[in-house]
Structure 1
Amino acid sequence: MNDMLKTTPDFSTEAAAALLKEHYGLSATLSLLASERDQNFKVEAEDGSISILKIINGAEPEVESDFQTALLSHVGAHAADLPVPHIRPTLSGASLASTTSTRGVTHRLRLVSWVEGLPLAETGRNDAALQSLGRMLGRFDASLKGFMHPGALRDLDWDIRHAGRSTDRLHHVTSAEDRALLERFLVRFEKSVAPRLATLRAAVIHNDANDWNVLVDKVDHDTISGLIDFGDALHAPVIAEVAIAAAYAGLDHPDPIGAAAAIARGFHAEYPLAEEEVDLLFDLIAMRLVTSVTISASRRAHTDDNPYLAISERPAWTLLRKLDRMNPRFATAILRHACGFEATSGARKVSAWINANRKSLKPLLERPAATYPAALVPYGDPTHPMTIKSAGEQPDEAQAIWEDYCRAHGVELGIGPFGEERTVYAGEMFVSRFIDHTRRTRHLGLDLFMAAGTRLYTPLAATVVSVEIEKDPLGYGCLIALRHEPEGCPPFVTLWGHMAHEAMGRIKAGDRLAAGALVGEMGAPKENGGWAPHLHLQLSTDTALSATEILGVGEPQFLDVWTELFPDARTFAGIAEEFYEKKGRSHEEIVKRRKELLLPNLSISYDKPIKFVRGEGVWLIDDSGRAYLDCFNNVCHIGHAHPAVVEAMAKQAAILNTNTRYLHDNIVAYAERLTATLPKELTVAGFVNSGSEANSLALRLMRAHTGRENAITLDWSYHGTTQELIDISPYKFRRKGGKGPKPHVHVATIPDSYHAPADWPAEEHGKRFAESVAELIQAMKAKGEGPGFFIAESIPSVAGQVFLPEGYLKEVYRLVREAGGVCIADEVQVGFGRVGSHWWAFETQGVVPDVVTMGKPIGDGHPLAAVVTTREVTDSFNNGMEYFNTFGGNPVSCAVGLAVLDVIEGQDLRGNALSVGNYLIDAFRAMQTRYEVIGDVRGMGLFLGIELVTDRKTKAPSTEFARAVSNGARRRGVLMGTEGPHDNILKMRPPMIFSKRDADHLLAVLEETFADVARTLG
């Protein structure tokens, strides 16, 4: 007879009742409960109390019986509210009694209180119940911290550390396939798990939280009401408690890893686990099952007599087969996430790094992806024809449907978003390996749809991990994996699927690719798995996964986990957030409300207005997520939303903003810094809010100093919005709605060398054009008057980016000053280093104005402007009348102004403007050799113009071509304007941070647009 059977108690119900009466003085009704090694009886006493009488296996050493008694006593003392059995003493006050069987075997007896509830095995095991189980086990194990007993150190096959002993029992498993299954788990255990177990926390644990030892509330089955049977308790790794409970909970459960996650989440809430413990949980769950089935196999001869041994064998095998089909790294990611850890170490840092460094990423396509007109590809709509004809069945028809849509709506890029629910994933390959009767339907990559052959580039430097062909139908076709290791970021992998096979002969594993290097091309359906041409781009924060292991489609239930393992690649690819969700009012509603609420002559750019919602550097992003390269709005001098400006503004606004009647450091500091950029004669500053205010203040200074009104202004010039500035702006008063010049306003010829008379020597252009000013002064003198001032932009902008001929301002300033007038340089558009070679455009003419006005670039979009003048003019202005401007020179504005100067100087943006500007001018001149329509190229730094003509000899303006180019560039995502009397001059004033890469993008769009317009207009 088996030794265990000899010592297993075999008392009848009547004999057990007699023992109960003898040792505890209780008369009761007894009923036998299932048990493997001992005998357990439910005791229903006459007084209504319920207990459990345990008759302990005779082979169990006394130290083990004493251990269980001490354990329950400890829990009772330190966590009395835990619903576990409490010991009832014998008539003599002892915790245990003893008796001898008819076989002469001594057995010990223990009577404990009954714990009310239903076995978890008899109820549903939903997430709430399993999480409650985890919390109960966490509370129980936490109550045992510091508890130890010699009996806890016993040698037990059910000790998770001894799971490797299952190898010695494999020969009892008759199926070779089943043995191979167990061997796979055992090899993993011995190689990767067992060596790490010794390093983990260990304590006394229950060690057998199967669903017969766990009770739920009879009414609320979501709440665990008790924990019983401590016969397997021992000192073991703490994580084993969770693994064992999860192993049993997963039996016949449709989502065993989800069940394990619920238990781990609950346990972690009461008894925080360490990452290294959770990392072993999947394998420990499997090894508990391996132990179970091999022990059952070794005892199979006796299972007919003791069904308790075989109760979980069939579902255990089923669960082991499920676990074997799972990727352990994915299962571990789910378990880690359940405990609040990253799905894989460093996962969240990868996404954070990409978001923080997105501006430095190279374009994935020929130009930044956000610059293409884009639309969602309708794979999320199961009724759409493209969806119906996709999935490898009719890719050519699906592509044709998409191309028709693109032509009809002006779309160039299709986007299939991350996380989208898709019905196209219908094949067997998309059946979940985690959850029964579930499909993987959530897209975990980013799809970019363009024509087959579209070239794709890596935004970051990379090492090629693999290049392979996946031949499965509906597979990836050519599949490329790249590893990226940017400084300050954990390494991550990018997956490039549905590529053309040409990459196989061009790159190989181990190759290094620089940022911006070619990865490959979008494949055609015959080579990309049978799909319409597109790129499946996916990030993987788990670099241990091979290209084919990376999960391209996932279960909706685990989307939060997949999001950490495979973060949305939209930022990496350069797709703007605004593409995914439009906010605010529609274009039509805004236009309608503007007409109702705003001045009717407030203009809107373009026939189809743009609604911009965000600016960033050189880009403006509209409400559909399309990014436009801003080569026009020179207000944001150092780039839209420059972080230094934003920080300075927010920091000072959070401390103090007030007016100049009070003392503050900022206004003095800014005046010092600003005047230091100007010639030594210009020493006194006045601060206002706009260029118009600056020019109005300049006129006040002029009147106080000269006592005159007569103005000399250049034809087609513009100086501001107030009436006195409209009066000196021919651009306004000579156009529709204007009433011509007032008597005190005298208009000089615009000194445009390109349109100078042919017989004028080039070296005399400056003096010849100045004669116009001399004639005006002479006319004033004939009336006994003189000029009060001469005002001109140092580079006339509205007139068409006109660069003054050499010597022009020297001669004009001389004439005006000799006649008693002052000279005002309007630097509102051209100042602050835009010309590159100098801080101020007037410096390129070798002159020093009496008054300099500035605005627009001064605050990078913040309403700030200034006037700087000489001490002599200032003394005239100081005539007793107070000058006060409520907001001019306030602490916030001055903080912003200082930040702008810091950036210009600290990043040598003048030098950048000069080098990039020269690069563009050279490229424009090269275009001039190819396009007869380009009559003149002009520019200095980042103040640029291209004049378009119908005939180079007559220089007749080509307004139609200019407008077509401006609108064509806008359609291609580049903003520029047209200026000049005939709107035939392309005007470009990009931010000072404009890079060579930005310049190349501008040039590519101009080349494409010029060619297109030339074809269209003939």
Structure 2
Amino acid sequence: MNDMLKTTPTFTPEEARSLLETHFGIRGSLSPLESERDQNFKVKSEAGETFILKIVNASEPVIESDFQTALLDHLGHAAPSLPVPHLVPALGGGFLAEAHGAGGLVHRLRLVRWVEGTPLAETERSEAVLRDLGRVLGEFARATRGFMHAGSLRDIDWHLAHADRSRTRLSHVADEKDRAILERFLDRFEGGVKDRLLAQRAGILHNDANDWNVLVSADGKGVSGLIDFGDALHGPLIADIAIAAAYAGLDHPAPVDTAAAILAGYHAAFPVEEEEIELIYDLIAMRLVTSVTISASRRLASAGNPYLSVSERGAWDYLRKLDRMNPLFFTAILRKACGLEAVKGASAVRDWIEANRRALKPLLERPAAFYPAALVPYGDPAHPMTVASAAEEPDRAQAIWEEACRETGAALGIGPFGEKRTVYQGEMFVSRFRAETRRVRHLGLDLFMAAGTPLYTPVAATVRSVEIEHDPLGYGCLISLLHEPEGAPAFVTLWGHMAHEAMDRLKPGQRLEAGALVGHMGAPKENGGWAPHLHLQVSADTRLSATAILGVGEEAYMDVWAELFPDASTFAGVAPEFYRSEGMSREEIVARRRELLLPNLSISYDRPIKFVRGEGVWLIDDRGRAYLDCFNNVCHVGHAHPRVVEALARQAAILNTNTRYLHDNIVRYAERLTATLPKELTVAGFVNSGSEANTVALRLMRARTGSEQAVVLDWAYHGTTQELIDISAYKFNRKGGKGRKPHVHVAPVPDSYRAPSDWPVEEHGRRYAESVAAIIEDLRGRGEKPGFFIAESIPSVAGQVFLPEGYLQEVYRMIREAGGVCIADEVQVGFGRVGSHWWAFETQGVVPDIVTMGKPIGNGHPMAAVVTTREISEAFDNGMEFFNTFGGNPVSSAVGLAVLDVIEDGDLRANALEIGNYLMAAFRRMQDRFEVIGDVRGMGLFLGIELVTDRKTKTPATEIARAVSNGARERGILMGTEGPHDNVLKMRPAMIFTRANADLLIEVLEDTFAAVLA
């Protein structure tokens, strides 16, 4: 330092004026400017132009002067619009001249044009200006690509690659705490940052874009000048951003914002690399460390030079702020400013959770969406469900919550992600990134239930940590799990406010399989003093420790926090519909239906439900509640099955047309469909609904027999057209019906449960068949013959009635002998629902002449089919064209093929048989407990429970069935009631129904029976 002072130029303004005129031919007035080691004068020429005359320190090597001159010359040609000083040629040629100073020292002279502007240090450092500063530095980096000069290879302490030299100056820092801060940053730098820095892209750096070397335009909108290239050198490019950010952040209320703005501008002009961004926090710190240690070491020698100490106070303040910041969060804000993810892989974590939500295990004992839920808004103390007083009165808050649950019917409280909360008042919630700002945005998901509620991991995990936060209003027991799913970045989940029992049960490194117990919701005395709840949070950055994960964040950085800590709702199983309701209200829809739709269109349940989404075995309503669907057999392989949806969308995007044109799909589907049937049934026709299929079946029948005489079962239902209503006793014998037509002959439903008690069980089939024999005999006596016999292979509307053994064999034999054909209506019971066979008629050991199918055939897509024998199809080919505009179209056929694929690939028939048997066994156990259960019956996933009048209360079976159906609905299970007395609980769940689904159905049914019969 002393050597440099000895060689500092000491020319008077008069001497400098003489040098200016002698070497540059310019006359004017000069005024001195502050400088650390050189001598600078502002020149106002007689011609009205402004320049800066630099008299270089005699100790500066010639090569360095040459480098600065060459650099400015290069910029003048490569980037003439860049706002940097432009060289003025010397009279002797070139841009440099020489002058002899005191003691015979030789000083070099350089004249550049004045750059107008206000120093950044004297402005508000607006975001626009800082972005423009970044742009200027980026354009500087772009302009100097390929430029090299031996003088740029300088070894100075201000080179960030040498920032670790600051350790030799630590003894000059008197305050022990301040020295400890510097040591922490030096340890980080030496512990890996330096090696990473030296591996980055390198080029020419300005190396001193401090807030006095950056000039702002008169309108305050941009940078008008980047001056003083005295420290320029060759080094890692990212250093220029860090240095500029270090000075721009001095005394700024949000220094990270200044760094983000500079980086964003630089990145737009000259894209940075992700590894470079990771270094900026430490490089800012090390520039400040270098500055304060150099100032400390030079304080005595430079007491009269304010340039050296001008930024020292601000640098210390910034260093203390940086020391309190988490570098990962600082970097995340910078990454986001460049349009990158806050942490690499954040979107992949969110996307993986979303894509795999169906496969996630329930976090609670049941899926979270299954529970009737209510919002618990900490941000609204006036809301009836709030627990904002938890901090002062956790026990009272829990009582308020429980009372609200009773009033609203809620079983789960949800505190949403992103909610602005006013309850965070402690010192811990003051922002470390923005002065006078609090962290108020909730970054986790709160789930409120009773203390002791068990909680399970939806995804396999490894325990990272289990610890106790003893601070009031802290987390209490805090658990961190690491998840490493195949095909996705790893992520962490945080489980706060847990019961302390987990401390003895979970150990770091312990493996938890999906669905394993994590712990229990803690009581106020152990959860930090809150009402019992879980704070669940997902972290896409696995480097963060449990206590480093922010549970609450600044509003200004919510775009960053939302990527670092994606909303845990999907992970927890909370349906998105819980947070938003779209479209008309339920009441509005009911009113509009009455106004616009046919008045006899019915609505299920005493309290109608508005469903907005289906997923697998679940239907989700407009309030985000998920109902286990045990009733809607249309979605045979589950609502919105991905393979079926994909097949539909793929073909719809290519072609859909009618069957008058050739297409592979209809032929392929007919081949696949008929392959599931007995060999006699080989010819298919495609339509759009079960009603159409049955109508076509009657046309086939007429072509074969020429007879209209119909033999049907009582309480049967076959479709909506008039001719089908005419053969559906369920319709023509009820209110609004016209009674039986003369050509329709009704046989009793062969119901073994209601068979005469004196009939031996093994004779039920034959005895019931005798009624059909009587009909045939009556027709013969009138000179008629039966045209057909039609029956559901398992009568459904009649009450899930399973035909007695041998019944169809006997009836089919008699009908055929009399000249009729036999039609099996498999619209509800086909496609493997019975489990043991593809088709329910197969359980009777018969082969129909015609089979009709619908509902499950397209998993919700409107399609149906009729399949018959070759002989009947040839009789039907009488010259009249058979055509259906949409039947068998390429899209419908693709859907049908996908449904068959799903059934076969998933072995869903076997699943139906296994789960059906499991449910039947459970229903029989229920029958032993509840006397109102008269009969249980089922095959595969086609099930019924027939109820009888309560002997104690005399409550009719119909009322009990309705109460059980509505009670199950209130508890989240959908089922129906059927039968002549509407006393049979009807269940037809999707073929993908699991053991867990079955257990939930059993539990709810038992609870509902107990409540209804209490």
TM range (shorter): over 0.9
Distance in 1 between residues matched to 2:320 and 2:532, nearest whole Å: 37
User: Which amino acid in structure 2 is aligned with residue 825 of structure 1?
Assistant: A
Return the alpha-carbon distance in structure 1 between the equivalents of residues 141 and 446 of structure 2: 48
C-alpha distance in 2 between matches for 1:574 and 1:384: 24
Q: Which 4+ runs in 1 deviate beyond 3 A?
A: 382-389, 951-957
CA shift digits 1:402-442 (9 cap, x unpaired): 22222221111111111111001011110111111110001
Report the 3-state secondary structure (helix = DSSP H, G, I; strand = E; otherwise coil) of the residue aligned with 2:93.
coil
What is the distance in 2 between the residues matched to 1:171 and 1:386?
59
1:979 counterpart residue number? 978
Name the residue aligned to 2:84.
84
Please give the secondary structure, in 2, of the residue aligned with 1:112.
strand
Q: CA deviation at 1:348?
A: 1.9
Report the secondary structure of 2:548's partner residue: coil
Question: Does the 8 Å CA contact 1:389/1:397 hold for their aligned counterparts?
Answer: no
Look up the equivalent residue of 2:740 and give its one-letter code: P
Partners of 1:128 and 1:968 in 2: CA distance = 62
Q: Which residue matches 1:168?
A: 168
Q: Which blocks of at least 5 consecutive residues in structure 1 are unaligned? A: none
Please state if 1:94 is matched with 2:99: no
Distance 1:1004 1:518 in 2: 20
The residue that corresponds to 1:488 in the other structure is 487
TM, length-normalised to structure 1: 0.98
Q: Contact 1:947–1:986 (CA<8 Å) still a contact in 2? A: yes
Aligned position for 2:1011? 1012
Pairs within 5 Å for 1:169-568: 169-219=169-219, 221-384=220-383, 389-568=388-567
Q: Does the Cα contact within 8 Å between 2:131 and 2:264 map onto a contact in 1?
A: yes
Q: Which moved more, 1:277-286 or 1:507-516?
A: 507-516
State the shift of 1:103 in Å.
3.0
Shift of 1:386: 6.3
Aligned residue identity for 1:648: A
Q: Give the whole-Å Cα distance in 1 for the aligned partners of 2:255 and 2:645.
A: 50
Say whether the 8 Å CA contact 1:859–1:893 is kept in structure 2: yes
User: What secondary structure sits across from 1:746 in the alignment?
Assistant: strand
Secondary structure in 1 matching 2:519: strand
How much does 1:828 deviate? 0.3
How far apart in 2 are the matches of 1:1014 and 1:503? Answer: 40
Answer yes or no: is the 8 Å Cα contact 1:620–1:630 preserved in 2. yes
What amino acid is aligned across from residue 593 of structure 2 in structure 1? R
**Deviation for aligned residue 1:398:** 2.2
CA separation in 2, counterparts of 1:389 and 1:867?
A: 63
- Judge conservation of contact 1:456–1:519 (CA < 8 Å) in 2: yes
Is 556-565 or 439-448 further displaced after alignment?
556-565
Q: What SS is found at the alignment partner of 1:88?
A: coil
Secondary structure at 2:949 match in 1: strand
Residue range with higher mean Cα deviation, 827-836 or 878-887: 878-887
Give 1:380 shift: 2.1
Deviations 1:784-843 (A, max 9, x none): 212111100000001111111110000000111111111000000000111111111001
Confirm or deny: 8 A CA contact 2:387 2:531 kept in the other structure. Answer: no
Mapped partners of 2:216, 2:10: distance in 1: 30
Q: Provide the C-alpha distance between the structure 1 equivalents of 2:30 and 2:798, rounded to a whole number of angstroms.
A: 107
For 1:537 and 1:118, the matched residues in 2 are separated by 50
SS in 2 for 1:87: coil
Q: Cα gap change, 1:962/1:33 in structure 2, threshold over 3 Å: closer, same or farther?
A: same
Q: CA deviation at 1:955?
A: 13
Instruction: Report the counterpart of residue 763 of structure 2 in structure 1.
Output: 764
Residue in 1 aligned with 2:708? 709
Output the CA distance in 1 between the equivalents of 2:955 and 2:95: 113
Counterpart check, 1:948 vs 2:936 = no
1:153-176, Cα deviation, whole Å (9 max, x unpaired): 010100001110000000111111
Deviation at 1:347, TM superposition (A): 2.0
Equivalent positions of 1:512-911 (< 5 A) are 512-911=511-910
Report if the CA contact (8 A) 2:387-2:401 is conserved: no
Contact 2:708 2:743 in 1 (8 A): yes
Give yes or no for contact 1:948–1:957 (8 Å, CA) kept in 2: no
Deviation per CA, 1:67-95, whole angstroms, max 9, x where unpaired? 00111111122111111111100112221
Distance 1:827 1:953, change over 3 A: farther
One-letter code of the match for 1:333? A
Instruction: Write the distance in 2 (CA, Å) between the matches of 1:956 and 1:743.
Output: 39
The alignment's C-alpha RMSD in Å is 1.6
Aligned to 2:31: 31
Unpaired segments of 5 or more residues in structure 2? Answer: none
Question: Counterpart of 2:845 in structure 1: which amino acid?
Answer: G
User: What residue identity is the alignment partner of 2:234?
Assistant: H
Following superposition, the deviation at residue 580 of structure 1 comes to: 1.0
Cα distance in 2 for partners of 1:281, 1:581 equals 40
| CA distance in 2 between partners of 1:755 and 1:809 (Å) | 18
SS at structure 1 position matched to 2:501: helix
User: Which residue number corresponds to residue 75 of structure 1?
Assistant: 75
**In the alignment, what sits opposite 2:937?**
938
Q: Distance in 1 between matches of 2:376 and 2:615?
A: 27
Q: Conserved in 1, the CA contact under 8 Å of 2:606 and 2:966? A: no
**Structure 1 954/731 Cα, relative in aligned 2: closer, same or farther at 3 Å?**
farther
> Contact 1:391/1:474 (CA < 8 Å) preserved in 2?
no
Shift of 1:391: 4.7
Shift of 1:506: 2.2
Amino acid of the structure 2 residue aligned with 1:463: T
Q: What is the CA deviation profile of residues 617-654 of structure 1, one whole-angstrom value per residue up to 9, with x for unaligned ones?
A: 11111111111111111111111111111111112112
Q: For 1:770 and 1:753, locate their aligned partners in 2 and report how far apart those are by CA, in whole Å.
A: 12
| Structure 2 residue 15 is matched with structure 1 residue 18 | no
1:956–1:401 CA distance, 2 compared to 1 (3 A): closer
Q: Aligned to 2:828, what secondary structure does the other structure show? A: coil
Distance 2:549 2:576 in 1: 25
The letter of the residue matching 1:808 is Y
Q: Report what 2:6 is aligned to.
A: 6
Report if aligned partners of 2:387, 2:400 keep a CA contact under 8 Å in 1.
no
SS of equivalent residue, structure 2 residue 109: strand
Contact 1:962 1:986 in 2 (8 A): yes
SS for the counterpart of 1:54 is strand
Give CA deviations for 1:140-198 in whole Å, capped at 9, x if unaligned: 11111111111100101000011100000001111111111111111111112112222
Partner of 1:56: 56
SS at match of 2:300: helix
CA contact (8 A) 1:717 1:796 kept: yes
How far apart are residue 359 of structure 1 and its match? 0.7
**SS of equivalent residue, structure 2 residue 865:** strand
TM-score (norm 2): 0.98
Aligned-residue offset at 1:449: 0.8
The answer as to whether partners of 1:474 and 1:530 remain within 8 angstroms in 2 is yes
Provide the rounded CA distance (Å) in 2 between the counterparts of 1:92 and 1:387: 83
Q: CA deviation at 1:389?
A: 4.6
**Shift, 1:731, TM fit:** 0.9
SS of 1:390 mapped into structure 2: helix
SS at match of 1:779: helix
| Letter matched to residue 630 of structure 2 | C
Distance 2:956 2:825 in 1: 27
**Residue identity in the other structure for 1:351:** R
Q: How many matched pairs?
A: 1014
**Offset at 1:343?**
2.2
Contact map agreement 1:949 1:955 (CA 8 A) in 2: no
Residue identity matched to 1:183? E
